[in-house]
Amino acid sequence: MAEHTSQMLVEEFETIASAAPETVMLEFIDGRIGVRKAADGDHGTIVSWLVERCVRARPDLDLCPTQGLRVDAYRQSRARPDAVLAPEAHFAGHGAWADPDGVLMVVEVTSYDADTDRRLRLEKPAAYGESGIPLYLLIDRDSRTVTVRSSPDRQVGGYRDARVTKFGETLVLPDPVGIELDTEMLKSYVR
């Protein structure tokens, strides 16, 4: 097996990311810099739908769109999820890249781009699980499913458990979140 080689140091990435215009969202996953594709209207609507439901069900929590996370356990990575669920005001005073301690769940919504499979279904769950984030929620518009990954595994990376729910079914986000979601509306926001 070939040794993993990073494109640059994480400090170099952070310098580049801080100089990028607000319209460009950069990530550094598994030693590679990546540019997040601009979200389409349906993508944004799904994130807004989820924010509303989470805040209504759990007013003690904030679902923060695009908060960057330092997922250092996974090869000094910097991830920018579509949303991060944490206690209210948890990210106050943090910069662009916050520590994942205290984060309850990260959310990703698939985009229609070539690297979705590698990035959202493989690399990011490994990074989030290795960082100890309790839940990873993937709203997958390609397969019309919602996957909840739980029981993070810091040793191996990723998560030990995954539950897949089809759009239109009710989904219960396990502890520490404990929110029930009716996913019927998601059917309206796929190609």
pLDDT digits (tens, 9 = 90+) for 85-96: 999 999 999 988
Confidence of residue 1 (pLDDT cuts 50, 70, 90): very low
Say whether the peptide bond before residue 176 is cis (omega within 30 degrees of 0).
yes
Confidence of residue 74 (pLDDT cuts 50, 70, 90): low
User: Structural domain boundaries of the chain?
Assistant: 38-189
CA neighbor of 80 nearest in space, from 134, 170, 158, 18: 18
CA neighbor of 52 nearest in space, from 37, 65, 66, 36: 65
pLDDT tops 70 at residue 4: no
Confidence of residue 2 (pLDDT cuts 50, 70, 90): very low
Share of the chain above pLDDT 90, in %: 58
Q: What whole-number distance in Å separates Cα of residue 150 and Cα of residue 55?
A: 21
**42, 189 in Cβ contact below 8 A?**
yes
Domain 38-189 adopts which CATH fold?
A: tt1808, chain A (3.90.1570)
pLDDT digits (tens, 9 = 90+) for 102-113: 999 999 998 877
pTM value? Answer: 0.86
**80, 119 in Cβ contact below 8 A?**
no
Q: What whole-number distance in Å separates Cα of residue 54 and Cα of residue 85?
A: 9
